[in-house]
Chain A
Amino acid sequence: MIHSLFLINNTGDIFLEKHWKSVIGRSVCDYFFEAKDKAGDPENVPPVLQTPHHYLISIYRGKLFLLSVIQSEVSPLFVIEFLHRVADTIQDYFGECSENVIKENLVIVYELLEEMLDNGFPLATESNVLKEMIRPPNILRSVVNTLTDTLPTGQLSNVPWRRAGVKYTNNEAYFDVIEEIDAIIDKSGTTVFAEIQGAIEACVRLTGIPDLTLSFMNPRLLDDVSFHPCVRFKRWEAERVLSFIPPDGNFTLMTYHISSQNLVAIPVYVKQNISFFDTASCGRLDITIGPKQTMGKMVEGLSVTIPMPKSVHSANLTATQGSYTFDLATKVLVWDIGKLNPQKLPNLKGSLSIQSGVPKPEENPSLSIGLKVQQLAISGIKVNRLDMYGEKYKPFKGVKYVTKAGKFQVRT
């Protein structure tokens, strides 16, 4: 299984290494650096590499690489999932997964890695269990250090995701239904492809061992779902309700996917024209955004991101609403619009100048749209009710809906 782990920042420095079996020299990473140089962008480094004696499986998160060294035939997804879990845990403990944070908490990170993997086999990866053994760095840490002498209860119970003896004065369970629209719109405005990635994020702070049941008004919409291990699959299959003993705190209860074969509502339309002239070294840009299928809700947080061709030198534009920035180094144009006013459609217009002597760009830049619609799940999914069994008290309950743009791209 997983032999060693190296944490590498995006300039190529190894700043942490952990070996679960014998020690493997850092030189093994040279193959990775070679691939990294070849790929150019750190995002483009292939996740599975082969070297004469090892396999290197890596993920790229938060501007750093988690690189694992493998010596035998394994399931690469196993490793990739585990590496993401490591990053998740670090994020959970310290608020973010970055080089600075890890360097500041090196020993805890090292302890965590030791607890998460034994001989390359995952040991404790549930954040609840880990937190019982290794306290996150807060004031409590020094005080309750001695608590760790007891066996973490989650390790062996039937509900390994929940720690025992949870107590709250305010018992509350909140669920956020978050839907992201992934779409490709072609230059004529036709939807080439659109699908919805949905997730129900839960924040549950309930005393004892509550048993929750969540039901939907229209469960038939959900035919492609992935559940947190706490969800009882049998009941979902039979009754289409989510029945579960929740982990303590924040977790993703389920994710779902509404495929491109269903009709997906697109909240905005984009009229755009980006062209470069053959003769003069300049081009024009004209973008207007208007509401399409907003279900009567306000579209907020509207933004447009355009990675411009490398030869674009500067942009001289006027926005009727919001502001724009053009990053000279990355050549990314960002137009921050804010709320969409259906009466007065936002427009961005003006000229682009190109470095002189460079031929006119061949590629057509794609637009990435960002947006947010509160109190709306664009798929139409609705939670019907939430019931709690097993405990006597009456919890606060709440469900929020929000629709966002995921990978929402408009081609030009």
Chain B
Amino acid sequence: MTDSKYFTTNKKGEIFELKAELNNEKKEKRKEAVKKVIAAMTVGKDVSSLFPDVVNCMQTDNLELKKLVYLYLMNYAKNQPDMAIMAVNSFVKDCEDPNPLIRALAVRTMGCIRVDKITEYLCEPLRKCLKDEDPYVRKTAAVCVAKLHDINAQMVEDQGFLDSLRDLIADSNPMVVANAVAALSEISESHPNSNLLDLNPQNINKLLTALNECTEWGQIFILDCLSNYNPKDEREAQSICERVTPRLSHANSAVVLSAVKVLMKFLELLPKDSDYYNTLLKKLSPPLVTLLSGEPEVQYVALRNINLIVQKRPEILKQEIKVFFVKYNDPIYVKLEKLDIMIRLASQANIAQVLAELKEYATEVDVDFVRKAVRAIGRCAIKVEQSAERCVSTLLDLIQTKVNYVVQEAIVVIRDIFRKYPNKYESIIATLCENLDSLDEPDARAAMIWIVGEYAERIDNADELLESFLEGFHDESTQVQLTLLTAIVKLFLKKPSETQELVQQVLSLATQDSDNPDLRDRGYIYWRLLSTDPVTAKEVVLSEKPLISEETDLIEPTLLDELICHIGSLASVYHKPPNAFVEGSHGIHRKHLPVQHSSIDTGESPVSSGPAANIEQTHVIPSQGDLLGDLLNLDLGPRSTCPRCPPLTVLIACNSVLLLQVWLPAVKAKGLEISGTFTRRQGQMYMDMTFTNKALQHMTDFAVQFNKNSFGVIPTSPLPVHTPLMPNQNIELSLPLNTIGPVMKMDPLNNLQVAVKNNIDVFYFSVLIPLNIFFVEDGKMERQVFLATWKDIPNENELQYQIKECHLNADTVSGKLQNSNIYTIAKRNVEGQDMLYQSLKLTNGIWILAELRIQPGNPNYTVLYSNFATETCVKV
């Protein structure tokens, strides 16, 4: 016998008949009648007029009948509050019943009757039930507190039920703990103090114990609660992670995702180089993949979350791109999400597979999906430069199919590819132009017009093409009108002679015949620009465009961090923070990823310190050859310059060149900044430079040239810059030098004039080469030769100098100097002074001899330089 019979009563006196049956003497009849009433209720019929009759059936020993009556009461009590009071006594009695099932049922049902008057009577029974000896009753009562809070929050607080709930966290029964957590979490959503659940290590320990033993749903509540905790250090974080990890193997996908949330959050606290950190990362991947074998609805939520995880920690799933390949019978919402993630995971390593897939998708039936696939091909081209060529040819293949929406979508993405790689793929413009007539969507038309305008000089009939668009100017969308206006102005600036008429036409269409203020304004601006100052117009309209970024629609990092804290929630599905869409969410505080504490500031609360900032360490270029620098870096005090002894001045001057310094500031070189230093490594001289692009456009075609100089320094190879330098990128390079170039005396002697060229312009700057890089390795003079030479040096070639405040002894100095190819030939002690005799040889074969006098206890050194052939150097 099935329940469908309850619907076969005749229409006429249905309610009347039921009423009669409800008052029947026989228990069985009454039960049947209540069932009929419930059946009518479930399908939305109004049977509320039977309220008193149904309530009369409540006093029964039959549990099933009791339950049915309760079901009815819950539904209609709100409409009949006065009548509902009649039931109160019966409820209160049931709460004292020896059978825990009845006690629980009574307290549960009472909580569901959303009538204020009833809730007053509920308080006492509820208080008893919260302390009931039977855990089944306690766990039901915990939920009842949440129900009551929903109806009358003030009363729950006044009666101290919240404290009772907190006490239940320490209950011995895991199910009671889980329900108390669930109730508190729900209450805190609408409670001004969202920190109802005071999480401390003891509580956490209790939750973790309950986690292992409670039901799957309870596990979700506990995991979500755990994710709000901020462990005090990495040890605590790790121990929580260890106890949460087994949940990743749960059959319930919601448990898995909640566990992922806890782990993703606490990962922030673990040191990146620890073994555990890496093990944990590896453990995260299989459960995420498994979620994708669930029902399509589960897949959808999983994919939205994976989208976040992939942005935060791409390493977790980078090997798994294949699981995101689309099956033809996946629901469309799954297909679109998979596609999104495929693009995010696309890299040079897998681009071939990804492209093959995307090409396959572009021939599917579903228009939205096909469009997105075509767009994805464009995004791959922009993201993985090596694949750009293949992507473009794939797009061309697709254009050949002549499928209207495919062609249009392809043209839109090709425009972006043109912007990313200017002057590379313009050869395909002709193919694009063939499809001009089939474009009927504003996006595609605008893209095509942009291309024609941008490359007007290469398209012979650009004027005709643009003119053809102009015919229906007023029927076009604003987007197309604006683009067309700009494109024609561009064309005019490029080919002024033939297109005067066209530009006049579009300007008057835009300014005189249009109602759109944006269009009119732009029209007027162009008009004025063109009529007053064509040169400026050219600069403005044809200026270099900023590059488009590689990753589109990335979530902004602070939002991403916040969303990671909400993995598994609605926020993670919408990719919006909860306060952006949850009504009345004043209780929801913005969540932040915990910040890893350094050993010093452990006292700081991670919440207050905000999201982890990825502060990139300032890149310090190690300064080479700082040995001489060390010596000369001492405070040298005021120095007397002696024009006749250039090497010394140079040597002293060189100390300031040893650190990386800015040679060419960006303001002088249209955004190119060059800083650098000279070094000598393994007998080879190098110019170590950092090129930084501070402009908005990319830079290519770098080259360098030196002017003739005193030492004949020239680069031995061209500038090792092969890839374009993107805005805000920098590149470090080492240019090997030798001294076989043409020689010309410079003033100062070590001056070097450099010219650097790129696609924008040629820039000049001059630098002082520190002399020590010219000191060659075989600068050690024979002792005898040294003595002889020393004597032969004319006095006027000698120079004396004092180095002050140098607290080094003779041996250290000698060692340091030797590292810079200044060799100590002899050392002797005269009247308590250490005398060091040194020699060095320059690349051009000139010897320099020196005597260094060091008086122990006196930090001031005296240097006597003797240059055997200063004049030779000068003369050459």
Contacts and interface: CB of A to CB of B under 8 A. Distances in A.
Interface of A: 1, 14-23, 26, 39, 41, 43-44, 46-48, 50, 53, 55, 58-60, 70-78, 80-82, 84, 103-111, 114, 118-119, 121-122, 125, 137, 145-146, 148-152, 155-156, 158, 160, 182, 184, 186, 192-193, 195, 197, 223-229, 233-234, 236-237, 252, 254-255, 257, 259-261, 307, 309, 362-364, 366, 368, 407, 409, 411
Contact of A255 (B251, B296, B332): B251
Interface string B107-128: 0100110100000000000000
Interface string B579-606: 0011101001000000000000000000
A363 B179 contact: no
Q: List 8 tightest A-B contacts by C-beta distance, closest first.
A: A224-B286, A77-B254, A47-B297, A104-B2, A122-B217, A78-B254, A366-B328, A260-B322
B213 interface: yes
Contacts of A75: 220, 224, 254, 257-258, 568-569
A151 B325 CA distance: 49
B473 to A, nearest CB: 32
A158 B363 contact: no
Contacts of B249: 225-227, 233, 236
Contacts of B356: 186, 192
Contacts, number: 250
A151 B101 contact: yes
11 contacts: A20-B112, A21-B147, A44-B331, A48-B300, A73-B578, A77-B254, A137-B2, A149-B99, A186-B360, A192-B356, A411-B360
B290 A78 contact: no
Contacts of A145: 62, 64
B286 A257 contact: yes
Contacts of B319: 261
A74 to B, nearest CB: 7
A46 B300 contact: yes
A107 B251 contact: no
Contacts of A50: 574, 581
A233 B252 CA distance: 15
B363 A362 contact: yes
Contacts of B320: 259-261
B523 interface: no
B253 A19 contact: no
Nearest to B256: A226
Contact of B43 (A70, A106, A229, A362): A106
Interface in B66-83: 67-68, 71, 75, 78
Nearest to A365: B328
B385 to A, nearest CB: 25
Given A75-B254, A75-B258, A105-B2, A80 B135 contact: no
Contacts of A223: 286
B425 interface: no
B5 to A, nearest CB: 9
A182 B326 CA distance: 12
A259 B286 contact: yes
B42 A362 contact: no
B364 interface: yes
A75 B217 CA distance: 11
Nearest to B40: A106
A10 to B, nearest CB: 14
Contacts of A151: 99-101, 134, 136
A107 B35 contact: yes
B221 to A, nearest CB: 8
A292 to B, nearest CB: 20
Nearest to B190: A72
A39 B333 CA distance: 10
A156 B328 CA distance: 45
B127 to A, nearest CB: 18
A148 B62 CA distance: 9
Contact of B328 (A192, A237, A362, A409): A409
A125 B48 CA distance: 30
Nearest to B335: A44
B507 interface: no
B617 interface: no
Given A22-B78, A81-B252, A106-B3, A229 B216 contact: yes
A48 B331 CA distance: 14
Interface in B109-159: 111-112, 114, 134-136, 140, 143-144, 146-147, 150
B290 A224 contact: yes
A84 B140 CA distance: 24
B136 A155 contact: yes
A105 B2 CA distance: 6
Contact of B143 (A118, A137, A229, A309): A118
Interface in B561-577: 568-571, 573-574
B4 interface: yes
Contact of B290 (A74, A106, A152, A257): A257
B71 A23 contact: no
B298 interface: yes
B39 interface: yes
B656 to A, nearest CB: 57
A23 B568 contact: no
Interface string B170-212: 0001010001001100100110000000000000000000000
Given A145-B64, A236-B249, A363-B364, 7 more contacts: A21-B147, A48-B573, A73-B189, A77-B301, A104-B2, A111-B68, A156-B175
B295 A43 contact: no
Contacts of A259: 286, 289, 320, 323
B801 interface: no
A80 B296 CA distance: 10
B787 interface: no
B329 interface: yes
Contact of B42 (A16, A118, A236, A307): A16
Interface string B292-309: 010111101110000000
Given A223-B286, A363-B363, A407-B327, A105 B3 contact: yes
Contact of A73 (B2, B64, B582): B582
A106 B297 contact: no
A89 B573 CA distance: 27
Given A104-B3, A145-B64, A409-B328, A23 B75 contact: yes
Nearest to B173: A156
B246 interface: yes
B146 A119 contact: yes
A310 to B, nearest CB: 8
B250 interface: yes
Nearest to A362: B403
Contacts of B333: 44, 46-47
Given A84-B295, A105-B3, A261-B319, A407 B329 contact: yes
Contacts of B35: 107
A184 B327 contact: yes
B570 A73 contact: yes
Contacts of A125: 215-217
B427 to A, nearest CB: 27
Contacts of B190: 72
A306 B863 CA distance: 94
Interface in B216-275: 216-217, 220, 224, 246, 249-254, 256-258
